[in-house]
Chain A
Amino acid sequence: MSEQEITLRMEGIFKAFPGVQALDDIDFEAAASEVVALVGENGAGKSTLMKILCGAYRKDAGRIFLHGQETEIENPYHAQQLGIAIIYQEFNLTPNQSAAANIFMAREPRQQGLGRFLNFVDRRRMEREAQEHLNRVGARVPATALISDLSVAQQQMVEVAKELAVDARIIIMDEPTSALGEDEVETLFEIIGTLKEQGIAIIFITHRLEEVFRIADRVVVLRDGRRVGSMSISEATPDKVIHLMVGRELTEMFYKEEAEIGEPLMEVRGLTRRGVVEDVSFTLRRGEILGFSGLVGAGRTETARLLFGVDRKDAGEIWVDGEQMRITSPVDAVVAGLGFVPEDRGLQGLVLKLPVLENIVLPSLDNHSRAGWLDQRSLRNTAQTYVDKLNIRTPHLQQKAMFLSGGNQQKVVLAKWLALQPKVLIMDEPTRGIDVGAKAEVHALMSQLAQAGMGIIMISSELPEILGMSDRVLVMHEGRVMAILDRAEATQEKIMACASGEINNINATAKGAEA
């Protein structure tokens, strides 16, 4: 590969944070029209490396070459001018503006004549050009649409279009598929193919290995701030990559252990929120993991929110242990014995500003107090117990949750519910965005909880996870239950067929479940 083709080369990058050497002598390169998958456990240094590349962090040492020329990247704005773009998991879009306004943010075309003098935006031109950029990535999104009206996948397309509009030569995608349903992932891969043809280098951070082998040309593996491997995809195998990532052999991806399925624990009948969730009924048994599958927007998260009393239901009954529960708020849900691990750790699961200890004990404060007076030792013991039990890696209980890695944050969210010992645990994308090791730990924990008699509802957009962990799979499509499949009959093809609305066999299966 000649020097010109190598769009980016980073040499000997070092970066330390208080108490941790985040990057330790890292080399990294990406060529034009190349898709480089950057993989590694959380905390391995992927995000830190990319934040240095896009100017969010300053490196301690090392050199960066762009198109063969050494460059100091001063700040994010400078990085953008150099043609480096990053698309974060959380999008940088303003929800109340149009796609066009977002694509041209801070560079809105001005009107001619007097309008130019007054800084009037040439809206028509902006929308026309934005539409061209959207079409270029194959997005079927009108440029005039408000961001808040778009799906997550469509928002992501707007992000990509926005970066193309500033002529990005290197596009970094941080976990781009984590919020997408299966078919939307396909669309994204098509977009990546288009970008490749246009000579753009793509750095793709992901936890899903099958994606690496689908689209990457080369895979770079980081572990504990070091580069432990870089190979072309033809030399790589999933086992090899996993081995490099974790530094140990992972014999199995899913730690599903058989639990004894007991009597019905929770029954849901006719749960409805008009326009979102229609007539959802199912039975959850003791020791059972019930997987919720479906495309993004099928109403799975919305169902979970109705169950937990976050949103108001228009109709439906929830029975727990043979007793009908009136759940109109999360307070009621907790009283009814439900726990809820929401899909977004930072926004919904944790109080990031507060320490690990307070996050763990938050739902169960009443159990550690007398007349409102907190028993500090009891709080500490509980928190320490779950930190040990779930292997939460934190220097001490007073560490603010924001400083933990994603996997450890997720374990804190789990810990706070386990400390309350709910009967039913609803988990919305429990392993999204966490590394392979933590993922395996979460799965093992789910098996243990099921064995202890808990009922678990697991929403997941990853089919292997659904197939690997569920005793039964409930498939939703456009707010309705399409099928409830037994573990034995659930296959990838069958689930996809139900999720896309091609098969609706709820009537037969629902009768079977009630019998």
Chain B
Amino acid sequence: MSNTESAHGGSVVAMARPRGMIWRSVVGRQELGVFLILLAMVVFLSLYTDTFLTSTNIFNILRAFSWIAISAFGQCMVIITAGVDLSVGSVMGLSGLASAMLLERGINVPVAVVGGLLTGLVAGFLNGLMITKGKLPPFIATLGSYLMARGLCYGLTGGWPVRGLPQSFRNLGQYDIPIAGFGVPLPLIFMLIFAVLTSIFLTRTVWGYRIYAVGGNETATALSGINTARVKIMVYSLCGLLTAIGGVLMTARLGVAAPTAAQGYELDVIAAVVVGGTSFSGGEGTILGVLIGAAIMQVLRNGLVLIGVSAYWLQAVQGLVIVVAIMLDQLRKRGR
């Protein structure tokens, strides 16, 4: 990618800036471009429709993109290592289903949730193994696991959804916490917590530094005495885990685990990451960007419905907006 003129890679370098550069660092942040796009969309929809800027609608948007965003945090790390994980939609469905099936057998909620999360973690770990030890390109390896995980969903259920999940489990996705007079959806709180945790992980830990280094130049990183295979296995495992968290929250929200759940979500997740400014060539990207990217995707979907775009045309418009948003962002980066 030819954004070589952009000043800083993002929050991984958010320290030790000389004085007087604070303003430049705000303006120069790579998230600024996509944030402006989000802002423009929100302003337009607020003026154009009466329904967009209501607390109900806003929280609906936020709730609905929580699990996409949580999975996208994991996907973001994967894409920073110059990889990709196509299996996230299937793994999201599978891990929610795993929790639901455990609950169905009368297992208590915490254990069932942990079971779901482990499912995602193991799926991610296996992705990592296929890519590092099996030497498969990430696209191929995760294409395989995408099909395998979805196949498991159908096979385990015989195609039937799992219903009758206990209320205490459903609360994870349905409960609203009263804060300042608003009912803030629980998944939103989870999402914000994981945004902060992932961001700190990426910018403040040894592992985070290594993730950027592997994506920036795997050869040089390996020659620096770093076990790049281990970094990648960890990243895919974390992606699986975060995706499973999203999957459990989604299942709790819906109150039912269908074998088709989260079908096609991998594209929403990848779109959120990419719209958020993460480069497919690796080595750059931030969680803040992903958050904004995921918000853009959801506002777009919601907004198009509100302004009366036919459901049949929705995807075409979404695709167009993604492409235009990324092109604008590229232009902005190149222009400096």
Interface-facing stretch out of A243-251, A264-272, A350-358: A350-358
Chain A residues whose C-beta falls within 8 Å of the C-beta of B221 in the assembled complex: 351, 362
Give the number of A-B contacts (CB < 8 Å): 103
Q: Are A362 and B213 in contact (CB under 8 A)?
A: yes
Which residues from 380 to 423 on chain A have a C-beta closer than 8 Å to any C-beta of chain B?
A: 380, 396-398, 400, 402, 416
Q: Are B9 and A349 in contact (CB under 8 A)?
A: no
In-complex Cβ contact of A329 among B9, B17, B227 (8 A): B227
> A330-B223, A376-B15, A398-B16 known; A365 and B206 CB under 8 Å?
yes
Chain A residues whose C-beta falls within 8 Å of the C-beta of B227 in the assembled complex: 329, 331
Residues of A within 8 A of B (CB-CB), count: 39
Q: Which residue of A lies closest to B219 (CB)?
A: A348
A129 → chain B, closest Cβ, in Å? 35
Asked if B265 CB lies within 8 Å of chain A CBs, one says no
Asked if A333 CB lies within 8 Å of chain B CBs, one says yes
Asked if B205 CB lies within 8 Å of chain A CBs, one says yes
A166 → chain B, closest Cβ, in Å? 26
Q: Are A353 and B206 in contact (CB under 8 A)?
A: no
Chain B residues whose C-beta falls within 8 Å of the C-beta of A310 in the assembled complex: 222-223
Interface string of B306-325 (1 = CB under 8 A from A): 00000000000000000000
Interface string of A365-376 (1 = CB under 8 A from B): 110010011101
Which residues from 13 to 30 on chain B have a C-beta closer than 8 Å to any C-beta of chain A?
A: 13, 15-18
Q: Are B225 and A354 in contact (CB under 8 A)?
A: no
B211 → chain A, closest Cβ, in Å? 11
Asked if B204 CB lies within 8 Å of chain A CBs, one says yes
Asked if B108 CB lies within 8 Å of chain A CBs, one says no
Interface string of B204-220 (1 = CB under 8 A from A): 11110110110011011
Interface string of A307-322 (1 = CB under 8 A from B): 0101000000000000
Q: Which residue of A lies closest to B222 (CB)?
A: A330
Asked if B329 CB lies within 8 Å of chain A CBs, one says no
Q: Are A353 and B220 in contact (CB under 8 A)?
A: no
Give Cα A361 to B9, complex, Å. Answer: 17
Q: Are B224 and A363 in contact (CB under 8 A)?
A: yes
Chain A residues whose C-beta falls within 8 Å of the C-beta of B212 in the assembled complex: 351, 354, 358
Q: Are B225 and A334 in contact (CB under 8 A)?
A: yes
A462 → chain B, closest Cβ, in Å? 23
Asked if B120 CB lies within 8 Å of chain A CBs, one says no
Give Cα A400 to B284, complex, Å. Answer: 12
Q: Are B206 and A308 in contact (CB under 8 A)?
A: no
Q: Are A373 and B16 in contact (CB under 8 A)?
A: no
Q: Are B283 and A354 in contact (CB under 8 A)?
A: yes
Asked if B172 CB lies within 8 Å of chain A CBs, one says no
Residues of B within 8 A of A (CB-CB), count: 31
Chain B residues whose C-beta falls within 8 Å of the C-beta of A331 in the assembled complex: 225-227
In-complex Cβ contact of B205 among A330, A348, A369 (8 A): A369
Asked if A342 CB lies within 8 Å of chain B CBs, one says yes
Q: Are A351 and B16 in contact (CB under 8 A)?
A: no
Q: Are A354 and B223 in contact (CB under 8 A)?
A: no
Q: Are B16 and A397 in contact (CB under 8 A)?
A: yes
Q: Which of A350, A358, A397 has the most B CB atoms < 10 Å from its CB?
A: A358
In-complex Cβ contact of B209 among A333, A347, A358, A398 (8 A): A358
B237 → chain A, closest Cβ, in Å? 15
B285 → chain A, closest Cβ, in Å? 11
Q: Which residue of B lies closest to A413 (CB)?
A: B220
Q: Which residue of A lies closest to B227 (CB)?
A: A331
Q: Which of A340, A352, A363, A365 has the most B CB atoms < 10 Å from its CB?
A: A365
A398 → chain B, closest Cβ, in Å? 5
Chain B residues whose C-beta falls within 8 Å of the C-beta of A397 in the assembled complex: 16
A399 → chain B, closest Cβ, in Å? 9
A452 → chain B, closest Cβ, in Å? 21
> A349-B223, A351-B220 known; A357 and B9 CB under 8 Å?
no
Q: Are B219 and A347 in contact (CB under 8 A)?
A: yes
> A331-B227, A333-B225, A362-B224 known; A353 and B216 CB under 8 Å?
yes
Chain A residues whose C-beta falls within 8 Å of the C-beta of B4 in the assembled complex: 400, 402
Asked if B8 CB lies within 8 Å of chain A CBs, one says yes
In-complex Cβ contact of A365 among B9, B17, B210, B216 (8 A): B210
Give Cα A365 to B227, complex, Å. Answer: 13
Q: Which residue of A lies closest to B3 (CB)?
A: A353
Q: Are A363 and B226 in contact (CB under 8 A)?
A: yes
* 25 interchain pairs, CB-CB under 8 A: A310-B223, A330-B223, A330-B226, A333-B225, A342-B220, A347-B219, A347-B220, A348-B220, A348-B223, A351-B216, A351-B221, A351-B283, A354-B9, A354-B216, A355-B8, A361-B209, A362-B226, A363-B225, A363-B226, A369-B205, A374-B206, A380-B15, A396-B16, A398-B8, A398-B17
Q: Using a CB–CB distance below 8 Å, which chain A residues touch chain B? A: 18, 308, 310, 329-331, 333-335, 340, 342, 347-355, 357-358, 361-363, 365-366, 369, 372-374, 376, 380, 396-398, 400, 402, 416
Q: Using a CB–CB distance below 8 Å, which chain B residues touch chain A? A: 4-5, 8-9, 12-13, 15-18, 204-207, 209-210, 212-213, 216-217, 219-227, 283-284
A-B complex: 8 closest residue pairs judged by Cβ atoms? A334-B225, A351-B216, A353-B283, A363-B224, A353-B216, A351-B217, A365-B206, A362-B224
